[in-house]
Amino acid sequence: MKKLTWALGLLLVVFFALILWLCFFQFPSMDDYAGSYFERSYGLGGAVRWYLREHNGRFSTIPAFLAISSSHRLMGQYALLLIFFIAFTYSSVFCFVRVLSRHLFEPSLNMKWTALIAAMLLVIFLCSVPQVSTFIYWMATSVTYLFPFGIFLFLICAYSSLLKQGQRHKWGWTAIICLLTAFLGGSNEIMLFYSFAFPFLAGLLIVAARRPIPVQLYVVAGFAILLLLIILQIPGNSARAGHYIPRQPLMVSLAGTTYRTWQTLLPVFSNPLFYIGCLGIVVAAGYLKPSVADYFASKRSGWLLETACIVGMIFFFDLIIRQVGSEVLPLRATNIIVCLTILGCWWIILVNASRLRELVKNIHIDRHRIQPVFIAGFCIALMGSGFAWQLMKNIVVSPVHAAVMKQREAIILGEKAKGRNLATISPYRESAERIVKEEYKNKSGFVLEEFDLPPSFAYFMDEPNNKDMAPIYAEYYGIDTIAGAGGKFARLGLLDSKK
C-alpha cells in the first residue's frame, strides 16, 4: 500500500511538473493585449468604468485583469502569472479538502493525504474540462474564471463552517459568506448564478433533512437576492445581454440548450477518472462522523431529485445565456461548470450513503483491499487519459510554438529599433514548418503529421492575421502597422485618431 501511495504521489508530481513547465511556452492572446490600450486611453480607473458601462458587469475581476494586462512588466512574466493562478487553485482545492475532511469525517485527513487528494482532484478537473488552454494557460480566463472558482471553493468551506453543528461564530461566518458572494457575483456570470443559488440549495437540503433553517441562511439568501438585483442594473451587464430582450424563439433556445446540456455532461460521464473518484467517495462514506451520517440519513429527498437539480442548473443557466444573450456558452465557461458538476455528483453520492449502507459497510471492512485497487486504477486511468496524451504532444511541439511567437516579437521590436513603423509577420504555419524542419530535420515530416501546431494547450488566435485583433495587437507592441497574410492593419490608436 505504501509503495502504491508513493508511486501515485510521484506520478502526480511528474504531471504537475510538466504542467507548470508548459507555462513557460505560453504567450498572451486576444483580450490579454487590450489592457494597455484601454489604460493609455482612459487611465486604469477610466478603463474599469468603460468596461462596466459598455462591456460587462464583472466589477471584481475586471480591475485585476486590466491592472495585469496593462503592465508590460507583468505581461513579460506571463509564465509566472499562470503558475501563480495554478498554485492558487491548488491551494483552494487543498483548503476545500482539508475543511470538509474536518467537518465530515472521522478521523480527518492528515496533511499528506490532504495534499495527495487535492492533487488527484485537480488532475480529475484537468482530465474532464473540454478546453485545457482556457482553463489554466490563458491569463484572461485565469483572472476571470479560474481564480473565482478557487474563491467559490472557499465559499463552500464557509458554508460548511456556518452550518456545522455547535458552531459558535455563525454571524462571523455569515459576514464572510456575504463578502465572498459579493466578490463572486462581480467575477463572472457562472459564479453569479451558482453563488446566488447556493443558499437556496443549502436550505432545501436542510428542509429535506427535517431541520429548521438557521436565521443566518435567510440573511445570506436575502443578501444574494439584493446583490443580484443590483448587478442586473450595471449598464455593462444590460448591454452585454442586449438589455435582457429575448433574441430568438423559446423553442429554438430549448432545443439548443438540451443539446448543450448533454454536451456539457459528456466530458464528465465519459471520463474513467470520474468513476474512480466516485469509488473514492464511497470509500470515504465509511468514515463519516456518526452525527453527519445520521443527518444525511434523515433527509427525504432522493438522488434522482438531487441529480435533477444539478442537471437543471446547467440547463437553466445555458437557457438564460442563449435566450437573452443569443450566445452559445464558450468552452472557457463550460470548464468551470464541468468542475462544479463533478463536485455536485460526488456530493450526491456522499449524502445518499445511507441508501448504500451495505455496500459502504462491505467496502469499509475490505478497505485495505479496495484502496490499492483505487490507487492503481487511478494511476492507470490517468496515464491512459486523453489529457496525458495531449500533455505529451504539447511537450514535443510547445518549444516550436514558443520559437514562432518569440520570432514574431523579435521582428516587431527589430523594426521599431530601426525607426520603421511597419512589421511584416509570416503566416503561423509557414514559420512553424520552417522551425520544425530546422530542429527535427529528417523527422520533420513525422512531427508535422502527428502533432498539432499550434499546440492544443496553447490558446492562440493568430492576431496578426485576424482583422479584428490585429489593430489591438499592433497597439500592444506600439507599432503603427502590422502586415500579415490578410493584409495591412493599423494599430487601434491610429484608427481612433482617424475617426
What confidence tens digit (pLDDT) does each residue in 9-22 have?
A: 999 999 999 999 99
Radius of gyration, CA atoms only, the chain = 25
CA dihedral 229, 235, 241, 242 (to 10 degrees): 130
d(CA 474, CA 464): 8
Residue 294: per-residue pLDDT: 86
Task: Report residue 5 as a C-alpha cell.
Answer: 501511495
d(CA 388, CA 273): 12
Residue 194: per-residue pLDDT: 94
Angle at 314 between CA 188 and CA 89, to 5 degrees: 50
HEC letters along the chain? CHHHHHHHHHHHHHHHHHHHHHHHHCCCCHHHHHHHHHHHHHHHHHHHHHHHHHCCCCCCCHHHHHHHHCCHHHHCCHHHHHHHHHHHHHHHHHHHHHHHHHHHECCCCCHHHHHHHHHHHHHHHHHHCCCHHHHHCCHHHHHHHHHHHHHHHHHHHHHHHHHCCCCCCHHHHHHHHHHHHHHHHCCCHHHHHHHHHHHHHHHHHHHHCCCCCCHHHHHHHHHHHHHHHHHHCCHHHHHHCHHHCCCCCHHHHHHHHHHHHHHHHHHHHCCHHHHHHHHHHHHHHCCECHHHHHHHHCCCCCHHHHHHHHHHHHHHHHHHHHHHHCCCCCHHHHHHHHHHHHHHHHHHHHHCHHHHHHHHHHHHHCHHHHHHHHHHHHHHHHHCCHHHHHHHHHHHHHHHHHHHHHHHHHHHHHHHHCCCCEEECCCHHHHHHHHHHHHHHHHHHHHHHHCCCCCCCCCCCCHHHCCCCHHHHHHHHCCCEEEECCEEEECHHHHHHHC
d(CA 62, CA 47): 9
Task: Report residue 336 as a C-alpha cell.
Answer: 468551470
Q: Are 12 and 123 in contact (CB under 8 A)?
A: yes
Residue 325: per-residue pLDDT: 66
Residue 321: per-residue pLDDT: 84
Task: Report residue 134 as a C-alpha cell.
Answer: 482556457
Kindly tell me the burial class for residue 483, based on how many C-beta atoms sit within 10 Å of its own C-beta (0-12, 13-18, 19 or more).
Answer: middle
Regions of the chain with pLDDT less than 50: none
Q: Are 44 and 67 in contact (CB under 8 A)?
A: yes
Residue 381: per-residue pLDDT: 94
Q: Are 337 and 314 in contact (CB under 8 A)?
A: yes
Residue 496: per-residue pLDDT: 61
Nearest by Cα to 320 from 245, 233, 221, 231: 245
How crowded is the C-beta side of 340, counted as CA atoms within 13 Å? Answer: 28
Residue 275: per-residue pLDDT: 94
Q: What letter represents residue 431's amino acid? A: S
d(CA 488, CA 499): 18
**Owner of C-alpha cell 423559446:** 250
Predicted TM-score of the model (pTM): 0.93
Q: What letter represents residue 352's amino acid? A: N
Which residues, at least 6 apart from 374, have a Cβ–Cβ distance to it below 8 Å? 276, 279, 280, 283
Q: Are 349 and 281 in contact (CB under 8 A)?
A: yes
CA dihedral 198, 199, 200, 203 (to 10 degrees): 120
Nearest by Cα to 140 from 55, 32, 34: 32
Question: What phi and psi values does residue 131 have, to the nearest 5 degrees?
Answer: -145, 95
CA 52: distance to chain centroid?
22
d(CA 383, CA 32): 33
Kindly tell me the burial class for residue 367, based on how many C-beta atoms sit within 10 Å of its own C-beta (0-12, 13-18, 19 or more).
Answer: middle
